[in-house]
Structure 1
């Protein structure tokens, strides 16, 4: 009886010691990673961090100033409670810059890494953390050159991580929530901020400070997300894609902003500087002064591709309305704002497309 009692006590002691060791190990893992152990059945999400306000820290310059790109992707993940219950997360630092410094080198790096991830089955979805200033441009570039059914989501923040009411953690959580939702498949590159899901083609930043800065002026958002659910407002819409240029550089295309009392000086100087294309952020439905239009005629004769867009922020720029585009040899942007029209023209020129009728078709083709 005494031996049986000792064996039972020993078994109980061993079980207790094992439980303590497991608890200590789990606590240590949690302290090291900021997250509880991840379940192997969860979807795999790769977070590609590029910097921006979401990774910013407060500065002493003023009450609202901050330095972007001060926090790593790993830190961002660790600062979002409950995110480990959504997916198995891994972070890679592609860059750590404010998005006003975003450039085509980072775009190519992102595109190549995303293509590699899905080609080698490294993840089920990709979430990119990015500053808001140029987020729509990065999203549009990636949407044009990446052809995959896997979700690619960009997210960021309007307030730095050290702000009293930072919006980054909620945006990060919701971006991952959308990325792992089955209904997100086949929808191209999306932007998720402020409980809203936007398609890359239509979304644009509209406010310098508001949390509701991103809006899809023409088509509206494609969905909404909250702590309980992800809701898409319609079926997936696929857009035409363009090959990622093999030379990993984009030709010079400049945006010229139209205004009252406009002359042709900027147009002529851009041509002299070697611009392969110009995008006009025109007044109204893409208009410029008569003097500027004469400058565009000279640019066309010099072999420069001209795209008329609009500075007003909403609406279509159609052909042959107030300007005879056929007569002047111009391309119109339709629903693309100047910054996205620039990227599309760069990609087409980088792929050696110079026929204006083909370029115009690419600006119109959406499905």
Structure 2
């Protein structure tokens, strides 16, 4: 680890490895006008992406590989586990100083958060993508990739956990969310803001995450071949117990309910869950996209046996519950994990 900081290493460019997974950043069409409805087939490979950013060789020694080539909406748990294992393998190489992952934006925040909790290294891991395909006018992919590489090569990026770099922003994977279906600045941290920014090749940090991540995390997926099954249910006015009943009877390990306001679960749903003799774990998150889910008078956690999501969105609460269930099946311990991370 110290190799990067030794005096003689400052005479060398940092070695940044790129792992490409596909996504819009790698999409290309015949028409530069086509910015929607493009194909996820025949995506650009990692080396082709690098060739689109001439001059980056002045900032880093780059190696690259393709691990997948798919739309991020097709990512599943097998892909997540394979990617996490490969990231840990790459970062264990003492010649590698940082890592960049290119990824589709549909599920980028989920992959980023999963890696935030499972990557066992203090080296920089930066995930980026694009909202426009590579063939589009003013495609944002090359600029995002340049910024991500410069960030991964920065001394200041160490110990920051997995980050997302989009539209010049540096965002913690713990808090980042996609907030628009089409805007270039779609990725934001609604509650806590950005860690920093990249302007030109200048990487500036102003804040750092304090919750456990990386080597501080208790989750280890190196030997896992599958994850516990956790489903998400959205609530609404006049919500019945039907979906919850179907999910419970399917034999899932856990459920995240995107509740109302501060995680309130509608009456028929919560009474059905309370009456169950054998319950899958149930996390109360909120369908509101920011804010904290605290104790709620409509669904007291001690009475109903539920778990507060804290400030995690439903999709991130799902991932955290999956990982929590790999280390414990104790309700109080899982509640503690949601408070800890």
| TM-score, structure 1 normalization | 0.85
Q: Which residue in the other structure is 1:358 paired with?
A: 333
Distance 1:283 1:236 in 2: 28
| Structure 2: 5+ residue stretches without partners | 1-9
Q: Which residue in the other structure is 1:27 paired with?
A: none
Which consecutive segments of 4 or more residues in structure 1 shift more than 4 A?
A: 59-63
- 1:57-96 correspondence runs (5 A): 57-58=28-29, 64-68=36-40, 70-96=43-69
Deviation digits for residues 117-149 of structure 1 (CA, Å, limit 9, x no counterpart) = 222324110100000110111011111111211
Q: Secondary structure of the equivalent of 1:191?
A: strand
Q: Which residue in the other structure is 1:109 paired with?
A: 82
Q: Is residue 212 from structure 1 mapped to residue 185 from structure 2 by the alignment?
A: yes
Q: Which residue in the other structure is 2:5 paired with?
A: none
**In proportion to residue count, which structure has more helix?**
1
Native 8 Å contact 1:40 1:88 kept in 2? no
**Shift in Å at residue 152 of structure 1?**
0.4
**Shift in Å at residue 228 of structure 1?**
4.4
| Structure 1: 5+ residue stretches without partners | 1-38
**Shift in Å at residue 57 of structure 1?**
1.6
Q: Is residue 342 from structure 1 mapped to residue 313 from structure 2 by the alignment?
A: no
Q: Which residue in the other structure is 1:50 paired with?
A: 21
**Shift in Å at residue 288 of structure 1?**
2.3
Q: Secondary structure of the equivalent of 2:194?
A: coil
| 1:51–1:65 distance in 2 versus 1, CA, 3 Å | same
| 1:171–1:108 distance in 2 versus 1, CA, 3 Å | same
- 1:25-174 correspondence runs (5 A): 41-58=12-29, 64-68=36-40, 70-174=43-147
| TM-score, structure 2 normalization | 0.91
Distance 2:145 2:34 in 1: 26
**Shift in Å at residue 321 of structure 1?**
4.1
Q: Secondary structure of the equivalent of 1:90?
A: strand
Give the length in aligned residue pairs. 326
Root-mean-square deviation (CA), in Å?
Answer: 1.8
Q: Which residue in the other structure is 1:255 paired with?
A: 232
Q: Which residue in the other structure is 1:304 paired with?
A: 280
**Shift in Å at residue 80 of structure 1?**
0.8
**Shift in Å at residue 290 of structure 1?**
0.5
Q: Secondary structure of the equivalent of 1:45?
A: strand
- The answer to which structure, 1 or 2, has the higher relative contact order (CA under 8 A, 6+ apart) is 2
Q: Secondary structure of the equivalent of 2:317?
A: helix
Q: Secondary structure of the equivalent of 2:290?
A: coil
Q: Is residue 273 from structure 1 mapped to residue 250 from structure 2 by the alignment?
A: yes
